[in-house]
Structure 1
Amino acid sequence: MHITNNDSASSTSECDLQVVDQKHLALIEPHGSCVPAPIVSSFNDRIRPLLDCVDKLRHLNIMQEGIQLPTIVVVGDQSSGKSSVLESLAGISLPRGQGICTRVPLIMRLQNHNETELHLEYNGKLVPTDEVNIAEAIVLATNEIAGHGKGISNIPLSLIVKKNGVPDLTMVDLPGITRVPVHGQPEDIFEQISDIIMKYITPEESIILNVLSATVDFPTCESIRMSQKVDKTGERTIAVVTKVDKAPEGLLEKVTSNDVNIGLGYVCVKNRTGNKSYDEARSEEARLFQTHALLSKIDKSMVSVPVLAHKLVHIQANIICKCLPDIVKKINDKLAVNVASLNKLPQHLSSVAEALTMFMRILSSTKESLKKIFLRGEFDEYAEDLEMHCTARLAEMLNEYAVELHSKNVEKKEDFLMDEIMSLKEANGIGLPNFLPRAVFLNVLQKKVSVISAIPEVFVEKLWNYIETVVIKVLMHHFGDYQQLRSSTRCAVQNLIAKRKDESINWVREIIETERLTDYTYNPEYVATCSTLMEQQKPFMEIMNDSDKPSIIKLKEIGEVDVGSLRMNKDIAQQAFELKMRMIAYWKIVLMRMVDHMALYAMFSLRKMVNYEIEQEIVNELMASHGGGIERMLEESPCVSEKRLRLKRSVKLLKESKDVVAKIMDRIALQTYGEKAVNGSSSSEYPLQVYEPKHIAVIKPKVSGVHAPIISSLNDRTRPLLDCVDKLRHLNIMQEGTQLPTIMAVRDQSFGKSSVIESLPGTSLPRGNDTCTRVPLITRLQGVQVEAPTYVEPCIQSL
């Protein structure tokens, strides 16, 4: 393959470039040494749209959304010749001097263009310049970004170079690596430079252009060490060796042995020196690599600035083509996520009426959520949060309460009936014998009630604390979008529950006092239990009266007890036993009553609170003089406002980026389809005008007087697919239940159906007054090329 380019400055000369395919790269070997050709790729026109797309995305700062762009990153140790290499590629002069010349990331965008145009972009400004003043303009811009002196900054500066003969490239030149700070530089200059370099070379989308001086050992270069940290195999690294004329000895072994894993290969160059023109510098470079005793032995695919330019263009094209589909996917995914997040933000309210409507809607949804989890036992809103399964948790709490109450009802086997005997003795007075005084029963009852009196209060505290936690969690969920109301609603709920908690404690205390002072039940279970237990009194008294009998007796609700010690009090043992049995029977009723009352009271309080009280309390709180009213909803909270603004900016950026990518994809598709359409109809005398569509190229013949063939520009693409379907139909695959895509022509008789089909192939079909088509007619049309003028030759088959 030979490429011939004519530069305006050397229009009388030609230089043929031979392209050698080596792995993934097109390597160009210049022939002749008179005057070199312009440094421009043979497919600049093809790579330009892709590069424009990436440059626009970079200009939009899409990387702030976490989407990395394919980039050629230029790194190298200080004074390795980085700037000189970039000068040779761009054909312009960059700032020179001692120390760090590049103090900010310099994004160089080179574009082959007929007219020369240079400008800088930074801090939202566009500064035009020219080839004479470009170095000074870069210095001034750098000082504005990084400050005067020798400090560095990670804020990028963009340089756009449009010039005839330059390769279509975008590169990022980073500050040269230096370990020892000089006067005026910060002490951590190495760490600052390292951070900037690692930020740019770490993404997989970056190509590392490592500039090395031939005068040093490559493994000792700090830039090599950094690139190896992020690209161990070297598949993303290309090396440029400068100052080859100063250290030609052993250079061939260095670039062929590849001791430092440079996967994309080496290119040796000789940069411009002095005041020579770039054409003179390239001619001198070509002579050096052709005539030097040592350098001429290096393969010509590894030397010269033109070879480097073409390598970089090919590498850049490969990485862009590889990354572009993934960039499109990332943009679409990020856009979908951000749009969804934006839609989830609360509606921005602009009037009191809107605020009131929104407030009532939120309050209604809050009540509905509370009814579901407290009253109906529906947990779909909090399926994974077991704490919010309130009916189940309340049942558990009530069961624990009942168990704790009953745990205090364990009858002691030791000193059986001694408490009852002591109570009877203390209540003894002048009166009828063997009569059980009610005061004794109440006295024993009060002692037992006192033992459990604290348990209901503790339960009520625990119950309302749980209810408060759940209600506030639901409220914060529904009012979460309006931060300005959260404190008021929380305060309202806390006040309401505090009042209900106090009321419940007072109610519990009244219940406890009632049980302490009164012994009554209408529950028939008391009589039944008491009768069953009293049946044991006869065997008990037999033991009391007969000392020869064993003193161990097994009693219901108590178990085995030793009653021998009671024989000394057998005169009141019978009364004590009756008191004990009646108290056991009645205490069961008391405990059951305390559990039942608590359950009923809790559900009643919950239902009243959810249905009426919460809504009323929140409205009262908001309408109070200190509440601020519904108008507070019009004031969007700072965090929501900031999040809305950030998401809007992000969505706008991603939409613009999506449009940029869509346009380039359409342009590529249009170019591909257009070229195929034009090449496929080269024998036609009808020129084709291509209109830009979304996905396909629509081709309109520009003719007058003669009708163009009815043929789609997609024939070449659809023909294989159509042949496949026709073969399947011929095999009668549909008898296996597999349907094929088909265009069915249907209409009432005499509506011109056959005429429409005739118009497509330009062939006559049967005509008549009756049914002309009496069987399914499968019409297969296929366009074939014949001698000019080009027409469609139909082929009709009936099955």
Structure 2
Amino acid sequence: MSQKVDRTGERTLAVVTKADMAPQGLLEKVTVNAVNIGLGYVCVRNRVGDESYDQAREEETRLFSLDPLLSKIDKLMVGIPVLAQKLMQIQAACISRCLPDIVKKINEKLNQNVTDLGQMPQNLSSVSDAMRAFMHMLSSAKESLRNILIRGEYDGDSDEQMHGRARLADMLFKYSKELPSECPTSQKEFLMDEIKVLEECKGIGLPNFISRTAFMTLLQRKVKQISDTPVEFIIKVWGYLEDVVLKILMKYSDDYPQLHSSTRRASQNIIEKMKKRSLQVVKEIIEMETIADFTLNPDYMKTWNELMDQQENFMDVIHSSEMPLKINLNGFGLVEIGHLRQYSDAIVEQAFDMRMRLTAYWKIVVLRLVDEIALHVLRSLKVLVEEELELEMVNEIVGTRANGIEKMLEESPSVAGKRERLKKSIQLLKESKQVVANIMDRIGSVGEF
């Protein structure tokens, strides 16, 4: 039966009971070991009737000493005491194999608990202690935000949403793509936006002068068409920054749950203040694009001249009734021009010139809307981390409106409970370690068994 669970027999100890009932051939069986009993045989005599333990052992000793057959069996293979000794040795061997792993696990748990206890917030006893702890917390949060938002380091965080510089770059790239690279137009027919504005702005004067009023009117309309895009970008940026700042502040104030509400409120106040500033800056940037048409960028004149080189051919096609109603213009592709033949050459030429100026200038406008807002965001990040964060946190927690520092002296029940649990666990693990060490010493001492 034992072979079902111990095929090799290495872990099997055979106990022959009631040896006095069948002594014939027992010596040969326990000596030959035909069935491969790895831990050997032990022959014993069972108690009979109302025998006490001592009486049974005396009878057992007499049996294996005087019986003509049983007395021939090796004395190390007979008797309850021998069986007890063997079982104890087997048990000790099993325990000795397990104990090193048990000791290792105890040490690992003990070291972890000691580390956790050491990392718990200091049990603050004075306002000065609380102030030092608060400033350390704030300093750590600021350094983490510097890494994430200014230096572009990951700060050991595997959450990609916390890779601040990368996520802001993604948002800026998406914003730049949302701005139309080509000057937007409300009319499907080529130059009709310009012609309508020119007709409304015409006056008494030389016919070959471009009306600046007409140009600015068109520019203002086109800038207004895309004015919501920068605003939406800024709102998205500060929405993202609010999540990052709040997560970092809550992380470093985790040891002081009594500060969580004040920390959350301070974070929201900072972001709201910075967002309002940014929206005002964006509004001013957009407004500047609508009140003046100016650039020193040489690409403007270069692009305008290249586009204007097509005007002569463009007018020739309009003048000729035999020419097709479409023309391929660089920068515009294939455009229909049949509808322009009803207008005078002067107004068509002015409209063409104005469209080319708007096209060349629009690239400058879009570039400024991207670059200036990007630079503003980068500067705002520095102001947020280096100036506003500390001011708002100190004002919210240390200022007259709150008694956050005093609250830090009151250890929360959860933190106090965790501290007590760790202390008890450490004490218990130390005691367990000592108990295991004593057991190992006893196992090593044969005399104990």
Coarse TM-score class (shorter-chain normalised):
0.7 to 0.9
Corresponding position: 1:608 with 2:383: yes
Q: CA, structure 1 residues 349+432, in 2 after alignment: closer, same or farther (shift >3 Å)? A: same
- Distance in 1, matches of 2:205 and 2:34, equals 124
Corresponding position: 1:356 with 2:131: yes
SS of structure 2 residue aligned to 1:619: helix
Q: CA, structure 1 residues 238+434, in 2 after alignment: closer, same or farther (shift >3 Å)? A: farther
Corresponding position: 1:520 with 2:293: yes
What is the match of residue 322 of structure 1? 97
Structure 2 contact 231–279 (Cα < 8 Å) conserved: yes
- Distance in 1, matches of 2:217 and 2:184, equals 19
Corresponding position: 1:534 with 2:295: no
What is the match of residue 26 of structure 2? none
SS of structure 2 residue aligned to 1:561: strand
Unmatched 5+ stretches in structure 1: 1-217, 673-799
AA of the residue aligned to 2:296: N
Please report how far the alpha carbon of residue 646 of structure 1 lies from its aligned counterpart in structure 2 after TM superposition: 2.3
Corresponding position: 1:469 with 2:243: yes
- Distance in 2, matches of 1:241 and 1:506, equals 98
Q: CA, structure 1 residues 459+430, in 2 after alignment: closer, same or farther (shift >3 Å)? A: same
Structure 1 contact 416–561 (Cα < 8 Å) conserved: yes
AA of the residue aligned to 1:518: I
The correspondence for 1:652, drawn from 427, 435, 440, is: 427
AA of the residue aligned to 1:558: F
Q: Which has the higher contact order (CA 8 A, sep 6+)?
A: 2
What is the match of residue 569 of structure 1? 343
SS of structure 2 residue aligned to 1:382: coil
AA of the residue aligned to 2:218: V
Corresponding position: 1:420 with 2:169: no
**What is the aligned-residue identity percentage?**
53
Q: CA, structure 1 residues 446+330, in 2 after alignment: closer, same or farther (shift >3 Å)? A: same
What is the match of residue 168 of structure 1? none
SS of structure 2 residue aligned to 1:635: coil
Q: CA, structure 1 residues 641+369, in 2 after alignment: closer, same or farther (shift >3 Å)? A: same
Please report how far the alpha carbon of residue 267 of structure 1 lies from its aligned counterpart in structure 2 after TM superposition: 6.4
- Distance in 2, matches of 1:419 and 1:567, equals 16
CA deviation digits over 1:610-629, x for unaligned, max 9? Answer: 11211111111113566332
Please report how far the alpha carbon of residue 460 of structure 1 lies from its aligned counterpart in structure 2 after TM superposition: 0.7
Please report how far the alpha carbon of residue 503 of structure 1 lies from its aligned counterpart in structure 2 after TM superposition: 3.1
- Distance in 1, matches of 2:356 and 2:252, equals 56
AA of the residue aligned to 2:227: S
Corresponding position: 1:543 with 2:317: yes
CA deviation digits over 1:667-714, x for unaligned, max 9? Answer: 999x89xxxxxxxxxxxxxxxxxxxxxxxxxxxxxxxxxxxxxxxxxx
Corresponding position: 1:617 with 2:392: yes
- Distance in 1, matches of 2:12 and 2:395, equals 70
CA deviation digits over 1:537-581, x for unaligned, max 9? Answer: 122112111233455544332234343443333543212211211
Please report how far the alpha carbon of residue 365 of structure 1 lies from its aligned counterpart in structure 2 after TM superposition: 2.5
Please report how far the alpha carbon of residue 480 of structure 1 lies from its aligned counterpart in structure 2 after TM superposition: 2.1
Aligned positions of 1:358-397 closer than 5 A = 358-379=133-154, 381-382=155-156, 384-397=158-171
Corresponding position: 1:281 with 2:56: yes
State the TM-score, normalizing by the size of structure 2. 0.80
- Distance in 1, matches of 2:13 and 2:137, equals 61
Structure 1 contact 242–269 (Cα < 8 Å) conserved: yes
What is the match of residue 341 of structure 1? 116
SS of structure 2 residue aligned to 1:480: coil
- Distance in 2, matches of 1:406 and 1:237, equals 85
What is the match of residue 278 of structure 2? 504
Aligned positions of 1:670-709 closer than 5 A = none
AA of the residue aligned to 2:169: A
What is the match of residue 229 of structure 2? 455
The correspondence for 2:211, drawn from 405, 426, 437, is: 437
CA deviation digits over 1:402-449, x for unaligned, max 9? Answer: 121135647799632233334334555666545433343233223322
- Distance in 2, matches of 1:265 and 1:547, equals 120
- Distance in 2, matches of 1:564 and 1:232, equals 101
CA deviation digits over 1:20-50, x for unaligned, max 9? Answer: xxxxxxxxxxxxxxxxxxxxxxxxxxxxxxx
What is the match of residue 482 of structure 1? 256
Please report how far the alpha carbon of residue 356 of structure 1 lies from its aligned counterpart in structure 2 after TM superposition: 0.9
Structure 1 contact 461–501 (Cα < 8 Å) conserved: yes
Structure 2 contact 145–245 (Cα < 8 Å) conserved: yes
Corresponding position: 1:629 with 2:404: yes
Q: CA, structure 1 residues 545+662, in 2 after alignment: closer, same or farther (shift >3 Å)? A: same
State the TM-score, normalizing by the size of structure 1. 0.47
AA of the residue aligned to 2:230: P
Please report how far the alpha carbon of residue 664 of structure 1 lies from its aligned counterpart in structure 2 after TM superposition: 7.2
SS of structure 1 residue aligned to 2:335: strand
Query: Hey, which of these two has a bigger chunk of helix by percent?
Result: 2
Corresponding position: 1:555 with 2:329: yes
Please report how far the alpha carbon of residue 663 of structure 1 lies from its aligned counterpart in structure 2 after TM superposition: 6.5
AA of the residue aligned to 2:119: K
- Distance in 1, matches of 2:140 and 2:441, equals 47
- Distance in 1, matches of 2:358 and 2:39, equals 97
Q: CA, structure 1 residues 235+605, in 2 after alignment: closer, same or farther (shift >3 Å)? A: farther
- Distance in 1, matches of 2:16 and 2:232, equals 83
AA of the residue aligned to 1:592: L
Aligned positions of 1:108-127 closer than 5 A = none
- Distance in 2, matches of 1:333 and 1:280, equals 51
Query: Hey, which of these two has a bigger chunk of strand by percent?
Result: 1
CA deviation digits over 1:455-481, x for unaligned, max 9? Answer: 112111111122112222222232222
- Distance in 1, matches of 2:125 and 2:170, equals 47
Q: CA, structure 1 residues 547+630, in 2 after alignment: closer, same or farther (shift >3 Å)? A: same
Q: CA, structure 1 residues 418+288, in 2 after alignment: closer, same or farther (shift >3 Å)? A: farther
- Distance in 2, matches of 1:494 and 1:244, equals 87
SS of structure 1 residue aligned to 2:179: helix
Please report how far the alpha carbon of residue 385 of structure 1 lies from its aligned counterpart in structure 2 after TM superposition: 4.3
- Distance in 2, matches of 1:566 and 1:266, equals 117
What is the match of residue 597 of structure 1? 372
